[in-house]
Amino acid sequence: MAEYAVVSARHLVGVPEGLDLAVAALAEPLAVAAHAVNVRADIRPGDKVVVSGPGPIGVLCAMLAKLDGADVLLTGVGNDAEFRLPAAERAGLRTANLSDTPLEEHLRREFGGAPDVWVESSGSVRALDSAIKSVRPGGSVVVVGLYAEDMEFSPTLSVRREISILFSYSCNHADYETALRLLAVADINPAPLLSKYPLENASEAFEKVGTGEAVKAMLEP
């Protein structure tokens, strides 16, 4: 959020001509999601995919998986139902509030059984545990969330069910190029996720993100 910044030219990625700069600013979270979904995961048309965590990375992962032809369900809990899940629905995603209805019931109703792929973006060890236990035998769990607590994990069940657990961290130059291309051709429309604030209201923007009242806050000079 500095007025000026100096970086080496080799770290710059060109913004496609005509792309609105406010939209281009979403290239970073979208690049992280693109790395998780397009590089680390092996999502195919028709796959049943759960994405846990309706923050900006999770919602964008769900949008990318849907773009790849998957049948996608985005899950959240608690306060997510008031702000973040409705924003995701406005972006065209199917959602589930796990605080109201058990996960197993959602999976049975939406998919008729276990998902093929689970993208865990919430940073909740409980969600990660559910992901590992809930994907079908031979299914995949892609972990893009970061965690503030340790997790107890007994691998035997996953070994017997041949679960693939993949980890995805950040993004690279190619992911940025992918993200900007998707934004430029409007394959991904981030508008329903954005809450814009003037720069002088930056503290309010941070507060809204912290309480989950905004999916993605944007400061405008």
pLDDT of 118 higher than 80: yes
Summarised one tens digit per residue, pLDDT across range 164-204 is 999 999 999 999 999 999 999 999 988 899 999 999 999 99
Determine the average pLDDT of the residues in 211-217: 92
Cα separation, 119 vs 133, whole angstroms:
13
Nearest of 45, 71, 69, 73 to residue 59 by alpha carbon: 73
Q: Hey, which residues does 51 pair with through a beta bridge?
A: 74, 119
pLDDT of 22 higher than 90: no
Top-confidence residue, 85 or 22: 85
Token digits for 180? 């900007």
Cα separation, 166 vs 122, whole angstroms:
15
pLDDT at 191: 87
pLDDT of 154 higher than 80: yes
Do 41 and 120 touch, CB atoms closer than 8 A?
A: no
pLDDT at 172: 96
pLDDT of 65 higher than 80: yes
Cα separation, 104 vs 62, whole angstroms:
19
pLDDT of 18 higher than 80: yes
Cα separation, 96 vs 106, whole angstroms:
7
pLDDT of 1 higher than 80: no
- Class of the CATH domain delimited by 17-190: alpha beta
- Number of other residues whose CB lies within 10 A of the CB of residue 21: 7
Do 160 and 138 touch, CB atoms closer than 8 A?
A: no
Domain ranges of the chain: 17-190
Top-confidence residue, 25 or 142: 142
pLDDT of 115 higher than 80: yes
Determine the average pLDDT of the residues in 152-169: 96
Q: Look up tokens 């769990």; give the residue.
A: 141
pLDDT band at 143 (very low <50, low <70, confident <90, very high): very high
pLDDT at 215: 92
Q: Give the sign of the dihedral formed by CA 21, CA 22, CA 25, CA 29.
A: negative
Do 131 and 151 touch, CB atoms closer than 8 A?
A: no
Cα separation, 15 vs 66, whole angstroms:
24
